[in-house]
Amino acid sequence: MKRVSILILAVLLLLLCTTPTFAAETTSDALNNEDQDEQSSTSLIVYFSHTGNTLELAKHIQELTDAEMFEIEPVIPYPEVYEECVRQARTELADGVFPEISDHVDDIASYDLIYLGYPIWIGTIPRPVATFLVEHELEGKTIIPFCTYGGGGISHSVTDIQALVPEATVREAFGVTGTKASEAKDAVYEWLKELDIDK
């Protein structure tokens, strides 16, 4: 009787191991399953978003990687009126200002990989993002930029990031028009796959 029970148990176990699962797997699930362990423990999504477009990309990356998120927030918020904001951003860029940010990542040493998100402002990163870069110890880390823009593209933002953190490795950026950010999840997925960041 005992032998029969063991035999039945063994057959059941065998069936369980060999039966394929037919659960629907979205592209995001797939990336999570493949890369989650290595990415989630050491990755951080850092972003600045004035009107919410770049936040949409950050959320896609969060869903695809399970990484934690950190928002760069300037102590003094930027004007909501577009022209005023552009005027201020232009002046800050010309003057090389590092605006004060309200919070820092205390345990930055525990992250190897930083997804860095920003809107393109005057052809480059907004100055609060520059503040984040110079006020954290990023030597030896990998930075993966992602951005949204109006129509000017990624422009010289990536080389500007590299200049601020010469000891970090800055990878290929992902960029999309701000109005298309919410529907860019598949494109984000393809970009992350292409980066092959585990190797």
* Interacting residues toward ligand FMN by CB under 6 A: 49-54, 82, 85-86, 89, 119-123, 148-152, 178
Shortest reach from residue 82's CB to ligand FMN, in Å: 6
User: Which residue, 151 or 166, is less far from ligand FMN as judged by CB?
Assistant: 151
Q: Which among 143, 147, 197 has a CA at the least distance from the CA of 166?
A: 143
**In whole angstroms, what is the distance from residue 36 CA to residue 48 CA?**
24
**What 8-state DSSP symbol labels residue 126?**
-
Burial class, 28, CB count within 10 angstroms (exposed 0-12 / middle 13-18 / buried 19+)? middle
Angle, helices 27-40 vs 53-65, to 10°: value is 80
Could you give the residue ranges of the DSSP H alpha helices within 2-68? 2-18, 27-40, 53-65
Shortest reach from residue 120's CB to ligand FMN, in Å: 4
Shortest reach from residue 188's CB to ligand FMN, in Å: 15
User: Which residue, 20 or 96, is less far from ligand FMN as judged by CB?
Assistant: 96
User: Which residue, 119 or 128, is less far from ligand FMN as judged by CB?
Assistant: 119
Shortest reach from residue 152's CB to ligand FMN, in Å: 3
Shortest reach from residue 118's CB to ligand FMN, in Å: 7
Instruction: Give residues with Cβ within 8 angstroms of 97, minimum separation 6.
Output: 91, 127
User: Which residue, 32 or 54, is less far from ligand FMN as judged by CB?
Assistant: 54
User: Which residue, 127 or 141, is less far from ligand FMN as judged by CB?
Assistant: 127
